[in-house]
């Protein structure tokens, strides 16, 4: 028997950062600030990520490239892994992502790569709370309310998948 289902992704678009809440604007500003610590001499594509934690802390990360390309790490995972090691039991409230190319914020927002999306979902699963992701470009801002909207068919823990 074939069962057809529909997948709906809900998101909001904004034209300007000041249309976000004051706390979200602060998070976007932190993501922009951390662009300066990006190590991206090969691609010249800098990414900054900022996480707001439930305890009020803001954790940032920037992409770190390496001459052996697979050895680098995306900004999102840098921030997530740091938050996980420093505040292992504190849920994430929101994440902001900003990118620049050759020093200028890109026009359209970027979305996280598949590996980052999987890690984002893992941290959401750990804490059992969805969190929004704000992706910022100069001409548009996209906000999804739940990380699962970015990767609806994520990999699950093998034990969890076997039990369902």
Catalytic residues: 76
Alpha helices in the chain (DSSP H): 22-33, 75-86, 114-127, 158-163
Q: Is 121 exposed, middle or buried (0-12, 13-18, 19+ CB in 10 A)?
A: buried
Q: Tell me how far CA of residue 29 lies from CA of 8, 17, 19, 60, 75, in angstroms.
A: 30, 9, 14, 11, 15
Token pair recorded at residue 41: 């001499």
CB atoms within 10 A of CB 99: 24
Token pair recorded at residue 124: 């959401």
């Amino acid at each position: 028997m074939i069962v057809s289902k529909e997948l709906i992704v809900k998101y909001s678009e904004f034209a300007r950062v000041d249309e976000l809440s004051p706390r979200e604007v602060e998070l976007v500003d932190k993501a922009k600030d951390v662009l300066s610590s990006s190590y991206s001499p090969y691609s010249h594509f800098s990414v900054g990520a900022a996480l707001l934690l439930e305890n009020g802390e803001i954790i940032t990360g920037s992409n770190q490239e390496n001459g052996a390309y697979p050895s680098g790490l995306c900004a999102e995972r840098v921030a997530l892994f740091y938050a996980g090691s420093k505040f292992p039991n504190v849920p994430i409230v929101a994440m902001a992502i900003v990118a620049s190319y050759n020093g200028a914020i890109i026009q359209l927002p970027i979305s996280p790569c598949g590996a980052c999306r999987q890690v984002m979902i893992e941290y959401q699963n750990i804490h059992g709370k969805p969190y929004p992701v704000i992706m910022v470009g100069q001409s548009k801002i996209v906000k999804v309310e739940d990380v699962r909207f970015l990767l609806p068919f994520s990999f699950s823990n093998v034990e969890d998948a076997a039990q369902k």
